Structure formats: structure tokens, C-alpha cells
Chains A and B, each alone.
Chain A
Amino acid sequence: MGDAVTRWLMVALLPWMMGFSPNDPAWMASDRLDARRGAPVAGTFWLMTDLASWEALPGSMALRLASGREPSSGAGLRVAFRSLRWPDGTMNDLEGAFIFRRSRWRGECAVGQSRFEGHHAARCSPRLLIAVSPHLVTGGAITFFPGSASSVPEFEIEARGAAGPWLLGLALYDNASEAAIGIEARPGLAVIARYANDVPALGIVWDARFLEVRAEAEDHPLLGRTARFAIRWMRGRP
């Protein structure tokens, strides 16, 4: 029993002696489970576009275009433009984020603004992820809304990890939560099941070397069937 504990401790502490890598399985799991909220593959320049539509909002569609440079170590940048169109109008959202990354942690500070006709709303969201082990990344974000009548920020705590082919994720928000589980069914193909706010969702990720295609569907109790489709191109992938 004592030997087993010693062996487990040695394996667990090995990364702390040998060093972490920005391409550890936990970081990869973070990206696989959520391409928008996760950490992109380190050392890449990427372009991404995604589309979303909602059954209960006929005639609506959201388009997001994003690009960024994700560093292996040091500073990076991300910009994103999102446009949500529906029969009565169009809302545009622009976001920029400064990223700083080391092998064991990743910080980002995002600022964004949404606009609809004469109205606008700004937000500022610092976020920190720490690799607890090569197989587990955890952290959180806080979002401030300057200009809002309410000074109450929003909080988020998250943990994502990988164990063999399995990917696991958990995120807790102020009044919501999200759990996700995925499996790398074969190299370049992952299946992800997500349960967020009583809403089940299923996604498939197909991944070639420079290209990633992602399709996801969910059945929201109010928004109805929601479909999302995303393509990401990456350069510099190890």
C-alpha cells in the first residue's frame, strides 16, 4: 500500500520536476470541449468562423468571425466580430483580447462591446487558467460591465481535464452550470456530450492537421433546437 502511494505521488509530481508543456492533454481537452471558450492550440495562428440558428427565433442567425495568435509562451492576441441578425434588427459585437501564456498558466484580458441601434453595452473580462497537472486545467473569469447601472460582476469557475481518450469539463456560473464529456473516438474525431442549464447538446469534432470542423446541436426548452457549425483553420500546429 505504501509503495503504491509512493509510486502515485512520484507520477503525480513528475511534471513539477520535469516541467509542463502548453500542449499537455489538459490544454488540448480545454480546446476540444469548447473552441470558443477554451485555449487554442499553443503556437498557432488561427481563423475561425461559426454559425448558429435557433428554432424558436425564426429568421435569425448569428455569425462569428474570429482570429488570433495563441502563443506557446509570451504574448498573443485574439479579435472576434459577432453579428446576430433577426427580423427586427441586427446586433453587432466586437471583442479583443490580450493573451499571455506560460507552460503552466494562461491569462487573458478581453474587452468587448455590443451595439444595437443607438444602444451599446461594454464588458471587461480577465480570465486565468492554471495547469494543476498535465491532465487538469482549472481557473476562472470575472466579467465587469462598465456603464451598467448595476456594479455586480459575473463570475465563472471552470475545470477541464483529459484522461486517456476521455475529455471532461465542468463550469460553474452565477446561476448556471455546465458539464461536458467527450471522447477521442479515433485520431481526428471526437464526440462531445454537453449538459448545460438543463439543456442537452451533442457535438462532433472532425480534425485534420490544419482544419477543424465542428457541428453541435442542442434542444433548448425555450429556444428550441439550436444548431451550431464552426470551421477553424490553424497554422503552426505542432
Chain B
Amino acid sequence: MRGICCIAFLSAFVASRAWGGVAINEIVVRPAGGEGEWIELAATDSVNVTLDGWTIRDATGRTRRLDGHLPANGFLVLAARPDSLRDRYRLPESVTIVHPDGWPILNDHDAGPGLPADVIVLADQEGGIQDSVAYFEDWLPPQPGQSVERVDLRMPSIMEGAWGWSVDPENATPGRANSLSAVAQGGDQVWGGPAEASPGTRPAVFTYRLPGSGRIDIRLIDQNGREVALLKEGGPSPPVGSWTWGGASPLPEHPGLYFLCLRWQGGKERIRRCHAVWVTP
């Protein structure tokens, strides 16, 4: 999966980002049914935020005005079809769903070679950019209705590993904490994910929580300790992130139990951790 940090203008967005307000937290570009596309916003602080006068815009630069009220540490969903979304996920009335004028707005095909499919920019009433995210087509889950979740609101949006595909049984978590956040922040687990995976037919998401930023390798090892495949090599990583094993990555020849091993190096500190997983190629 290509990272979301590959376009130069994003750095300008990040530089102007005002932390301590509102962040883009979850996105569904390809809905499963009638609920339409939606974006979840999350409050990053313990203060209420009024979104009157705030705007959201896409790669075309067209701006939509927002309104509504985002509770402290809570969520607000921008949706093309609020009623259908509420029915599909049985969302309580306490979760605010807003339908901005002119939706849907999100594209799911890359604009051209090296160009993202779309860009989402969230700005406050003074025009200051609060958050932004750009995504490519291959960053989107192949399964309709599965969301792209932010792993940790404290991480900058453009960091590799800051986003991943939802691992929730419902494939998305509108109006509640993201499934990847729960996995990444839970217990003492450094590296975890499903106990079985069929990456060739359905991508599997693995999450990690490390002492700091660094570089990670991910390799597949058989039960005899032999390396079967190098899945990710030496990429920079945030302290908390996710990695998706999809069909484009190397797969073992035969089904069986393998060790999916992560090696992290941050300065002089190193961590080796493996996860046993039954793989059906």
C-alpha cells in the first residue's frame, strides 16, 4: 500500500495545521450500500467545538461549509446520506451526522500517474487548516464499506502507518473509537493482528506500538526459522501504526503456520517481535 505522504504540497498543509482542535479520523470513499460516502471528524481535545463557519474541500478546491457541534473528545460524521448511515450502523441520536451541501465529493480513482485520487482539507472559520489527508486509489480497501481509520490522533496525518484499514467486525466505526486505535493502544502488545490471514483474497491488517519513531522490517518466517518473504524493508515508521498485508505483497507457496516478524530500530534501541499466523495464500 503506497503511503499518503507522497505529494509535496501536503507538507504545506501540515505546517499550517493547528493542533488541539479537530482531526479527520475515518473515511469511507467506497460505500457498501446506500449509506453513501462519509468522513468522521474527531475532537482532539477536551473542549467542545462549534463547526459553524468551518469548511471542507477536496482536490478540486471546491469548498463546502460545515455546521454542527463536536463534543469534547467526541465524533461528528459528515455523510452523503445521514439517515441511511444511521440505520446501517445503528448510530444513536447522540452522534451528530451532518450532510454538507454538494456531497458526495470524494473520488476513488487516481487523478493521474503519481497524483492522489483526492485530497480532503479541513479548515476552521478563519481559514486555518486544521487537518488534511491525501489518498491514492491503492490506499483504499477493496471491500466496499470498509473504512480507512486513523491509528492515533496524536500522529500527523501524513506519516506512513498513520492510517490503516478498519479491523472492526462491521468494517467501520462511525461515531465511536477506531478499531485500530483500540488494538494499537491496548495492553502490552507490541505487534499483533489476526491469527489467520488470506492476503491473496482479503487483506489483513496488523498493528504495532513501539517505543518511538524508527525503521521497521517485516518478514515472513517459516517454522524452521527460514525467511519466506520480505514484506516491508526499512521504512520509516511512527510509534503507533498499522501495516496491511494484501495480495500485492509476496505470499508463501503453501498454506500453513508462519511467523510474521517485525524488527524495529530506533537509534540504538532494537525490538524483535513475531506474530504466529496461519496463512492461506
Which positions in A face B, CB cutoff 8 Å?
54-57, 60, 84, 86, 88-89, 91, 114, 116-117, 119, 121, 145, 147-150, 152, 173, 175-176, 196-197, 199, 218, 220-224, 226
Which 7 pairs, one residue from A and one from B, show the smallest C-beta to C-beta distance?
A: A222-B261, A88-B195, A150-B253, A56-B274, A116-B278, A56-B272, A176-B226
**Given A88-B195, A91-B257, A117-B196: A56 touches B280 (CB 8 Å cut-off):** no
CB contacts (< 8 Å) of B226 on chain A: these are 173, 175-176, 197
A55 close to B272 (CB less than 8 A): yes
Q: With contacts A84-B276, A89-B195, A150-B281 known, is A226 near B225, CB below 8 A?
A: yes
Do A121 and B254 touch across chains, with their CB atoms under 8 A apart?
Answer: yes
Q: Which residue of A lies closest to B222 (CB)?
A: A176
Taking A117-B195, A221-B272, A224-B272 as known contacts, 11 extra A-B pairs with beta carbons closer than 8 A to each other, sorted by chain A number, are A56-B274, A84-B257, A91-B278, A114-B256, A117-B278, A119-B278, A150-B253, A175-B227, A176-B227, A222-B227, A226-B225
The complex places the Cα of A176 from the Cα of B281 at a distance, in Å, of 21
Show the binding face of B for A, using Cβ within 8 Å: 195-196, 219, 221, 223, 225-227, 253-257, 259, 261, 263, 272-276, 278, 280-281
Question: Given known contacts A116-B278, A121-B254, A148-B255, is B225 in contact with A56 (CB within 8 Å)?
Answer: no
A183 to B196, CA, bound (A): 42
Of A117, A121, A226, most buried by chain B (CB within 10 Å of CB) is: A121
Q: In the complex, what residues of A have CB within 8 A of residue B256's CB? A: 114, 121
Contact A220 B225 (CB under 8 A): yes
Residues of A close to B225: CB separation below 8 A: 196-197, 199, 218, 220, 223, 226
CA distance in complex: A119, B255 (Å): 9
The smallest beta-carbon distance between A56 and chain B, in angstroms, is 4
